[in-house]
């Protein structure tokens, strides 16, 4: 057997056109934005920056498909899938299976031999692919993360050689022998992601920093080997206004990419990018547009990448022009063609990304046991919350203090635009245990913000809450109201006992005068039983409850005012505090009592022919009635003296001094 | 003797005027004084010093002259004659500064609206609650004696005639609250409106004239007068 070897020479091939099939970008969002080093947020983008894996929530799964746009390469094909997982809060891993990440060149035959039933040709195919990658990321803090990735690359050259075999019957018979030569290498990438502000991220990545080579191509085929030089990229992701992100990236391989993403709402995102590549003609090598839509755990995206040099990226290149050393990346190189990519991503699991964050909590003041109920309506503090997601959210803030609350109180829902902030007032429904606080106590409050459906909370914060002792008072007349307890059994019993003793005398009083006469009876009776004494600790902020004043039979002006307001209130008489804070000497502040006789102004003479002894004012009924001022500090001398002193004081301070109009006298209705 | 007494009175008056106090110069017939918030009336004698919280009244045949110190060095003291049947609060016998006047008017508004505590959603309960109308209530009580109200309104006229327009108007309004029937009288209300007008409280005067149009039983002449006054104020 004579054997002739006919080998296609490389020199002969140089004039041939090479057909290229390729696909690389795995993520339509990445294609749409282009500059993706600092913009990744899920498992699909870790090829650009593995540190971006820290942005994934829990399980993250995606499938990508693609199609060419030219007639000869149209038709969707499977590109790959990724699976990512975040764990321990600050760690994340991902794997990528991407049979579609490849570049396939076919060098047409220089020799075709027809013989037998099948023609034989000496094709050469070169295939580069990166079918698998793994990534890992660690978050050091809220603003800094590190990522590493390993990419497996294969470079395969397949030659078909034709051998002419001499046979007895057939002079020369062509026999084809196919030979594949392959190299494989693991590349290691390292990257950082820095997020100094809510609206800014900066990414740095180093590709091909380490190589772990397996089999390699023979020297004769080294011409087809891809460059293995390290490439550094620096990218930024900036949000100038709510809903708009700008991206930029430069790489040491001469690629500059600018892009943006606009999220107008309803989960939609529109993207656009420009790719400038050094050495390409024109320099603006490509542009892309993309669209995305996300809802809850689902995210779909599509992108279109178009190259400006139609000849270069036509899928056919002369072998003379082909240079494997230009292929620094399978993602973007002179031989990639226009394409459309589609991807679907789903998020699973319980550990979800927070949609809202608490930026600060401010407590308005202490909780006074006497008025703790007011915090059910009046804010105890406020929390500043921010929407840190990219879609509008409805957020609620809850407030809870263990032991003093039975359940958290929750604010009304607040709608926040992406990046938007709001101050939410916190209310608290405390339980009766607060009343038992004897001395000042500090407790920690838990504040939670919840924006994610079915999640317990998205962020939490703590704030100290100061609980004052049960007898402490903040010095405001409005708060003194809450020491008034007309329904206290001790108060009720005391007032009822006195009125029962005077039953016969009271029976002859007309109903119109009843409140006045009852009040006079009560005050006269108790004036003999109580005495004026200062606070036990010389503090103006200490107020006794009426039952305590009745028990110890004395108190200062606050205690007496509160006690008599309670006694009168227990028999249905409306009262008010006259709060005096003299201008220039606020330390001499004073408080005394007004009670409503219920008499219309035109019957004022029934209580006194001197109008200076009473006050005409509108009560709760809206009717102008006669109110009697009572100076409680002299109440021990009886009703008439307390009335005279109160009326004189009121006339001087309000009518002559114009204190009410000037604001240093205030009247605070108790009931 | 009489000349000596008058000279002494004048001397006394001047001496007290230097202290800025109101002094009784002359008393004839039944003139009484009520101090502060007491309910007892005392007879008044020439030379008595009056305090701002005092109230003075004259009987059917009583008259008195009081000397009111000048409100400022540029002005002279004022001699005010109280005719028979008037009641005057001494605190009203003074010229209010513009600030005091505005504060007084503000206080009227405060009084009419009444102070209510912050709406914190909580109310201190009243242990006794009465449902329904009190059938034996105020109707059994006598209304304030209208004669007292008339005395006070006469007093406001004295204030008006002596140029104390703001206090005249404010006092009259107070009297109307205590004696609603007097507030229905055209002449009394006209006095208030004119006092407001003289006090250069154009808006308040206009409001008062407008409110008077709602009085029942106005004659065409009275209505015409009110429209004329309102027209003049609007110019």
Q: Is position B99 within any domain?
A: no
Q: What is the dihedral of CA A607, A612, A613, A618, to 10 degrees?
A: 80
B103: nearest CB among A482, A611, A661: A661
Highest mean pLDDT among A111-115, B123-127, B144-148, B164-168: B164-168
Beta carbons of A658 and B100 less than 8 Å apart = yes
B138: nearest CB among A599, A618, A655: A599
- Which chain B residue is nearest to residue A372, measuring alpha carbons? B122
* A191, A205 contact by CB (below 8 A): yes
B104 interaction partners in chain A (CB closer than 8 Å): 658, 661
- Which chain B residue is nearest to residue A649, measuring alpha carbons? B37
One domain for residues A518 and A660: yes
Q: Which residue's entry shows tokens 């939410």?
A: A424
Considering chain A, what is the average pLDDT of its residues?
83
Phi, psi of A548 (to 5 degrees): -70, -40
Beta carbons of B140 and A510 less than 8 Å apart = yes
Residue A545 has pLDDT above 60, yes or no: yes
One domain for residues A570 and A445: no
Query: Pick from A295, A320, A348: which residue ends a domain?
Result: A348
How many structural domains compose chain A?
A: 3
Q: Pick the residue with more confidence: A508 or A445?
A: A445
B177: nearest CB among A571, A616, A669: A616
Residue B68 has pLDDT above 60, yes or no: yes
> pTM for this one?
0.59
Query: Pick from A467, A498, A524: which residue ends a domain?
Result: A467
H or E element, residue B203: helix B202-212
Work out the number of other CB atoms within 10 angstroms of the CB of residue A38: 31
H or E element, residue A497: helix A489-501
B118: nearest CB among A478, A660, A661: A478
Confidence at A508, pLDDT banded by 50, 70, 90: confident
Q: Which domain holds residue A257?
A: 3-348
Query: Pick from B63, B83, B103: which residue ends a domain?
Result: B83
B53: nearest CB among A572, A605, A652: A652
Q: Rounded to whole angstroms, how far apart are CA atoms A478 and A305?
A: 69
Distance from CA of B52 to the nearest CA of A (A): 8
- Predicted local distance difference test score (pLDDT) of residue A2: 35
Query: Pick from A429, A449, A467: which residue ends a domain?
Result: A467
Strands (E), B69-203: 78-82, 87-89
B111: nearest CB among A570, A617, A656: A617
Highest mean pLDDT among A100-114, A222-236, A391-405: A391-405
Taking the Cβ of residue A608 and every Cβ of chain B, the question of whether any pair is shorter than 8 Å is answered with: yes
- Predicted local distance difference test score (pLDDT) of residue A128: 86
Q: Is position B10 within any domain?
A: yes
One domain for residues B73 and B152: no
Q: Rounded to whole angstroms, how far apart are CA atoms A486 and B127?
A: 6
- Predicted local distance difference test score (pLDDT) of residue B132: 47
One domain for residues B162 and B79: no
Residue A364 has pLDDT above 60, yes or no: yes
Confidence at A650, pLDDT banded by 50, 70, 90: very high
Distance from CA of A573 to the nearest CA of B (A): 8
One domain for residues A516 and A566: yes
- Which chain A residue is nearest to residue B183, measuring alpha carbons? A602
Q: Is position A472 within any domain?
A: no
Confidence at B113, pLDDT banded by 50, 70, 90: low
Residue from A82, A75, A94, A95 nearest A23 by CA: A75
Strands (E), B2-104: 22-28, 31-34, 41-43, 49-50, 55-58, 63-68, 78-82, 87-89
Distance from CA of A577 to the nearest CA of B (A): 10
User: B101 is written with which tokens?
Assistant: 């006047």
Taking the Cβ of residue A576 and every Cβ of chain B, the question of whether any pair is shorter than 8 Å is answered with: yes
Q: Rounded to whole angstroms, how far apart are CA atoms A319 and A108?
A: 10
Lowest mean pLDDT, pick from A1-15, A200-214, A257-271: A1-15
Residue A493 has pLDDT above 60, yes or no: yes
Phi-psi region of A44 (alpha: psi -120 to 50; beta: other; left: phi over 0): alpha
CATH number of the structural domain spanning residue A416 = 2.60.40.10
Percentage of residues in chain B having pLDDT higher than 90:
54
Beta bridge partners of A200: A197, A238
Confidence at A147, pLDDT banded by 50, 70, 90: very high
Counting other chains too, the contacts that A583-592 makes at CB distance below 8 Å and 24 or more residues apart are A583/A662, A583/A664, A589/A475, A589/A540, A590/A557, A591/A477, A591/A480, A591/A557, A591/A558, A591/A561, A592/A557, A592/A561, A592/A629, A592/A630, A592/A631, A592/A632, A592/A633, A592/A646, A592/A649
Q: Rounded to whole angstroms, how far apart are CA atoms A50 and A40?
A: 9
One domain for residues A243 and A281: yes
Residue A7 has pLDDT above 50, yes or no: no
pLDDT tens digits, one per residue of A120-145: 666 778 888 888 999 999 998 878 99
Distance from CA of A291 to the nearest CA of B (A): 51
One domain for residues A290 and A332: yes
One domain for residues B79 and B149: no
User: A214 is written with which tokens?
Assistant: 């397996």
- Predicted local distance difference test score (pLDDT) of residue A247: 94
Residues 254-313 of A with CB under 8 A from B: none
Q: Is position B102 within any domain?
A: no
CATH number of the structural domain spanning residue A304 = 2.40.160.40
- For residue A89, the SS3 value is coil
Distance from CA of A384 to the nearest CA of B (A): 23
Residue A669 has pLDDT above 50, yes or no: yes
Residue B136 has pLDDT above 70, yes or no: no
For residue A347, give every residue at least 6 positions away whose Cβ sits within 8 Å of its Cβ, in sequence order, or none: A56, A57, A58, A59, A60, A61, A297, A298, A299
Q: Is position B133 within any domain?
A: no
Lowest mean pLDDT, pick from A309-323, A421-435, B217-231: A309-323
Beta carbons of A613 and B37 less than 8 Å apart = yes
Distance from CA of B77 to the nearest CA of A (A): 21
Largest CA distance in chain A: 151
- Which chain B residue is nearest to residue A643, measuring alpha carbons? B37
Give whole-number Cα distances, B157 to A639, B167, B169, B171, B172, in Å: 37, 11, 10, 10, 9
DSSP structure string for B81-92: EE-SS-EEEGGG
Query: Pick from B83, B109, B127: which residue ends a domain?
Result: B83
Q: Is position B113 within any domain?
A: no
Confidence at A311, pLDDT banded by 50, 70, 90: confident
* A530, A553 contact by CB (below 8 A): yes
CATH number of the structural domain spanning residue A520 = 3.10.620
Beta carbons of A661 and B55 less than 8 Å apart = no
Residue A322 has pLDDT above 80, yes or no: no
Lowest mean pLDDT, pick from A346-360, A427-441, A469-483: A346-360
Lowest mean pLDDT, pick from A239-253, A335-349, A554-568: A335-349
One domain for residues A296 and A403: no
B178 interaction partners in chain A (CB closer than 8 Å): 601-602, 604, 611, 616
One domain for residues A614 and A492: yes
User: A580 is written with which tokens?
Assistant: 């005096």
One domain for residues B150 and B234: yes
Q: Is position B122 within any domain?
A: no
Confidence at A481, pLDDT banded by 50, 70, 90: confident
B36 interaction partners in chain A (CB closer than 8 Å): 612, 648, 651
Distance from CA of B117 to the nearest CA of A (A): 6
Beta carbons of B55 and A602 less than 8 Å apart = no
- Report the relative pairing of strands A554-555 and A531-532 from DSSP bridges: parallel
Strands (E), A337-489: 339-348, 356-363, 381-387, 393-401, 409-410, 414-416, 421-426, 441-450, 459-467
Beta carbons of B122 and A601 less than 8 Å apart = no
Q: What value does the CA radius of gyration of chain A take, rounded to a whole number of Å? A: 43
H or E element, residue A669: strand A665-669
Query: Burial of B59 by CB count in 10 Å (0-12 exposed, 13-18 middle, 19+ buried)?
Result: middle
* A447, A463 contact by CB (below 8 A): yes
Mutate to test the interface with B, among A607, A612, A671 (most CBs of B within 10 A): A612
Sign of CA dihedral A114, A115, A116, A119: negative
User: B28 is written with which tokens?
Assistant: 């004839």
Q: Is position B150 within any domain?
A: yes
Q: What value does the CA radius of gyration of chain B take, rounded to a whole number of Å? A: 21
- Predicted local distance difference test score (pLDDT) of residue A116: 52
One domain for residues A152 and A294: yes
CATH number of the structural domain spanning residue B205 = 1.25.40.10
Q: Is position B44 within any domain?
A: yes
Peptide bond into A282 cis (omega under 30): yes
Distance from CA of B92 to the nearest CA of A (A): 10
Q: What would the mean pLDDT of A569-595 be, rounded to a whole number?
A: 87
A492: nearest CB among B36, B111, B127: B127
Distance from CA of A514 to the nearest CA of B (A): 9
Distance from CA of B146 to the nearest CA of A (A): 10
- Predicted local distance difference test score (pLDDT) of residue A656: 86
Strands (E), A364-440: 381-387, 393-401, 409-410, 414-416, 421-426
B53: nearest CB among A485, A651, A671: A651
Residue A159 has pLDDT above 60, yes or no: yes
Largest CA distance in chain B: 74
How many structural domains compose chain B?
A: 2
Beta carbons of B110 and A661 less than 8 Å apart = yes
Confidence at A98, pLDDT banded by 50, 70, 90: confident
Q: What would the mean pLDDT of B106-131 be, rounded to a whole number?
A: 57
Beta carbons of A661 and B34 less than 8 Å apart = no
Q: Rounded to whole angstroms, how far apart are CA atoms A49 and A37?
A: 5
Q: Rounded to whole angstroms, how far apart are CA atoms A190 and A208?
A: 9
Mutate to test the interface with B, among A602, A606, A618, A652 (most CBs of B within 10 A): A602
pLDDT tens digits, one per residue of A238-295: 999 888 999 999 988 888 999 999 988 788 899 999 988 887 788 888 899 999 998 8
- Predicted local distance difference test score (pLDDT) of residue A323: 79
A660 interaction partners in chain B (CB closer than 8 Å): 107, 110-111
* A203, A53 contact by CB (below 8 A): no
Q: Rounded to whole angstroms, how far apart are CA atoms A32 and A299?
A: 15
One domain for residues A249 and A337: yes
One domain for residues B154 and B233: yes
One domain for residues A379 and A322: no
Beta carbons of B123 and A671 less than 8 Å apart = yes
A618: nearest CB among B114, B126, B140: B114
Q: What would the mean pLDDT of B94-109 be, rounded to a whole number?
A: 80
Angle between helix axes A514-527 and A557-570 (nearest 10 degrees) is 140
Q: Rounded to whole angstroms, how far apart are CA atoms B121 and A429?
A: 13
For residue A482, give every residue at least 6 positions away whose Cβ sits within 8 Å of its Cβ, in sequence order, or none: A368, A370, A371, A373, A374, B122, B124
One domain for residues A463 and A608: no
B50 interaction partners in chain A (CB closer than 8 Å): none
- The number of angstroms, rounded, from the C-alpha of A528 to the middle of its chain's C-alpha atoms is 64
Residue A200 has pLDDT above 80, yes or no: yes
Percentage of residues in chain A having pLDDT higher than 70:
88
Q: Which domain holds residue B42?
A: 1-83
Q: Rounded to whole angstroms, how far apart are CA atoms A124 and A179?
A: 10
One domain for residues A341 and A367: no
- Predicted local distance difference test score (pLDDT) of residue B126: 54
Beta carbons of B121 and A378 less than 8 Å apart = yes
Query: Pick from B50, B83, B116: which residue ends a domain?
Result: B83
- Predicted local distance difference test score (pLDDT) of residue A115: 52
Confidence at B8, pLDDT banded by 50, 70, 90: very low
User: B103 is written with which tokens?
Assistant: 């504060």
- Predicted local distance difference test score (pLDDT) of residue A454: 58
Q: Rounded to whole angstroms, how far apart are CA atoms A351 and B19?
A: 84
Q: What would the mean pLDDT of A397-418 be, rounded to a whole number?
A: 92
Q: Rounded to whole angstroms, how far apart are CA atoms A476 and A480?
A: 6
């Amino acid at each position: 057997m004579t054997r002739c070897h006919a080998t296609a020479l490389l020199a002969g091939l140089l004039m041939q056109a090479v057909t290229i099939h390729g696909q690389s970008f795995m993520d339509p969002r990445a294609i749409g934005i282009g500059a993706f080093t600092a913009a990744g947020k899920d498992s699909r983008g870790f090829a650009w920056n593995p540190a971006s894996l820290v942005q994934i929530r829990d399980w993250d799964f995606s499938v990508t498909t693609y199609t060419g746009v030219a007639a000869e390469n149209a038709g969707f094909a499977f590109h790959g899938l990724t699976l990512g997982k975040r764990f321990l809060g600050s760690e994340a891993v991902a794997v990528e299976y991407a049979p579609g990440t490849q570049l396939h060149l076919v060098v047409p035959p220089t020799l075709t031999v027809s013989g037998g039933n099948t023609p034989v040709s000496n094709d050469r195919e070169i295939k580069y692919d990166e079918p698998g990658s793994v990534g890992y990321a660690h978050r050091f803090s809220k603003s800094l993360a590190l990522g590493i990735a390993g990419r497996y690359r294969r470079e395969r050259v397949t030659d078909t050689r034709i051998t002419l075999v001499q046979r007895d019957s057939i002079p020369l018979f062509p026999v084809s022998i196919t030979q594949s030569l392959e190299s494989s290498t693991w590349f290691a990438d390292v990257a950082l992601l820095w997020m100094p502000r809510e609206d800014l991220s900066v990414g740095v990545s180093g590709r091909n920093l380490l190589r772990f080579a397996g089999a390699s191509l023979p020297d004769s085929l080294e011409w087809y080997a891809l460059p293995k030089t390290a490439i550094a990229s620096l990218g930024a992701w900036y949000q100038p206004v709510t809903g708009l992100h700008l991206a930029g990236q430069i790489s040491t391989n001469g690629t500059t990419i600018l892009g943006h993403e606009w999220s107008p709402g309803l989960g939609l995102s529109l993207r656009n990018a420009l790719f400038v590549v050094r050495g390409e003609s024109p320099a603006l090598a490509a542009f892309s547009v993309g669209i995305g839509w996300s809802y809850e755990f689902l995210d779909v995206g599509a992108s279109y990448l178009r190259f400006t040099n139609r000849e270069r990226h036509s899928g056919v290149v002369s072998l003379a022009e082909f240079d494997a050393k230009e292929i620094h990346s399978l993602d973007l190189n002179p031989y990639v063609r226009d394409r459309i990519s589609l991807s679907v991503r789903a998020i699973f699991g319980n550990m979800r990304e927070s949609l809202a964050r608490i930026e600060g909590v401010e407590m308005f003041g202490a909780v006074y046991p006497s008025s703790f109920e007011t915090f059910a309506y009046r804010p105890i503090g406020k929390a500043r919350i921010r929407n840190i997601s990219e879609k509008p959210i409805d957020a609620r803030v809850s407030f809870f203090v263990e032991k003093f609350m039975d359940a958290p109180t929750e604010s009304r829902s607040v709608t926040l635009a992406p990046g938007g902030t709001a101050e939410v007032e916190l209310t608290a429904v405390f339980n009766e245990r607060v009343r038992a606080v004897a001395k000042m106590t500090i407790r920690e409050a838990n504040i939670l913000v919840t924006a994610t459906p079915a999640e317990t909370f998205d962020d939490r914060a703590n704030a100290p809450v100061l609980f004052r002792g049960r007898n402490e008072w903040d010095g405001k007349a409005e708060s003194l109201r809450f020491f008034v307890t007309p329904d206290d059994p001790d108060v009720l019993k005391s007032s009822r006992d006195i009125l029962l003793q005077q039953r016969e005398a009271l029976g002859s009083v007309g109903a119109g005068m009843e409140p006045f006469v009852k009040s006079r009876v009560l005050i006269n009776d108790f004036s003999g039983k109580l005495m004026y004494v200062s606070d036990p600790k010389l503090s103006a902020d200490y107020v006794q409850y009426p039952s305590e004043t009745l028990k110890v039979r004395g108190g200062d002006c606050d205690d007496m005012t509160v006690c008599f307001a309670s006694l009168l209130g227990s028999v249905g008489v409306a009262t008010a505090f006259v709060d005096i804070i003299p201008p220039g000497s606020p330390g001499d502040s004073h408080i005394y009592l007004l009670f409503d006789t219920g008499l219309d102004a035109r019957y004022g003479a029934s209580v006194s022919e001197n109008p200076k002894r009473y006050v005409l004012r509108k009560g709760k009924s809206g009717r102008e009635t006669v109110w009697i001022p009572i100076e409680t500090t002299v109440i021990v001398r009886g009703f008439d003296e307390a009335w005279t002193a109160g009326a004189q004081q009121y006339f001087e301070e309000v009518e002559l001094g114009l204190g009410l109009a000037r604001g240093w006298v205030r009247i605070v209705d108790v009931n | 003797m009489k000349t000596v007494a008058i000279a002494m009175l004048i001397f006394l008056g001047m001496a007290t005027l230097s202290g800025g106090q109101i002094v009784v110069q002359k008393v004839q017939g039944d003139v009484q004084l009520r101090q502060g918030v007491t309910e007892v009336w005392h007879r008044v004698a020439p030379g008595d010093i009056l305090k701002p919280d005092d109230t003075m009244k004259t009987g059917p045949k009583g008259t008195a002259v009081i000397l009111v110190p000048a409100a400022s060095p540029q002005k002279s003291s004022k001699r005010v004659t109280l005719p028979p049947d008037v009641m005057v609060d001494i605190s009203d016998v003074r010229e209010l500064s513009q600030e005091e006047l505005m504060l007084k008017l503000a206080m009227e508004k405060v009084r009419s609206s009444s102070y209510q505590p912050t709406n914190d959603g909580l109310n201190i309960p009243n242990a006794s609650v009465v449902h329904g109308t009190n059938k034996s209530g105020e109707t059994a009580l006598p209304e304030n004696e209208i004669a007292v109200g008339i005395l006070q309104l006469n007093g406001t006229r004295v204030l008006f005639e002596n140029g104390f327009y703001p206090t005249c108007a404010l006092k009259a309004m107070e009297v109307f609250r205590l004696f609603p029937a007097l507030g229905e009288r055209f002449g009394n209300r006209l006095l208030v409106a004119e006092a407001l007008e003289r006090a250069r409280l154009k808006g308040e005067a206009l409001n008062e004239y407008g409110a008077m149009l709602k009085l029942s039983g106005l004659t065409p002449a009275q209505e015409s007068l009110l429209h004329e006054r309102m027209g003049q104020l609007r110019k």
